[in-house]
Homo-oligomer: A and B are copies of this chain.
């Protein structure tokens, strides 16, 4: 039978607190604040089971490692900061994307990724 462990709670909590998609390594850092000593293997294991049970969903963006976010967040897209490499959730979605599909193509999904600088990096001018 599945057991509730401090490690699983820490992973879930790290994702909830962040409110944005995190890489396994970012999750590790967040979870270590709650459970010192937690290892990356455990993070991957927990993410795998949470993805399987649907409580967490993978977020794949161009050219970077898979991130994870809590499920049931509604349709949304992402903003990828070029300064800190963090990914943020953005509400809203361009209407009528189907008109861009070539004739005869069947559209069943889409992904929009915005690039630029988050409020912190825009001010700091870093990166």
Contacts and interface: CB of A to CB of B under 8 A. Distances in A.
A114 B100 contact: yes
Interface stretch (A9-17, A41-49, A103-111): A103-111
B108 A100 contact: no
A25 interface: no
A119 interface: yes
Interface in A68-127: 77, 79, 81-82, 88, 90-95, 97, 99-119, 122-123
Contact of A79 (B91, B99, B102): B102
Interface residues of A, number: 40
Each complex incorporates copies of this chain amounting to: 2
B117 A105 contact: yes
Nearest to A93: B100
A106 B99 CA distance: 28
Contacts of A60: 62-63
A79 B101 contact: yes
A102 B119 contact: yes
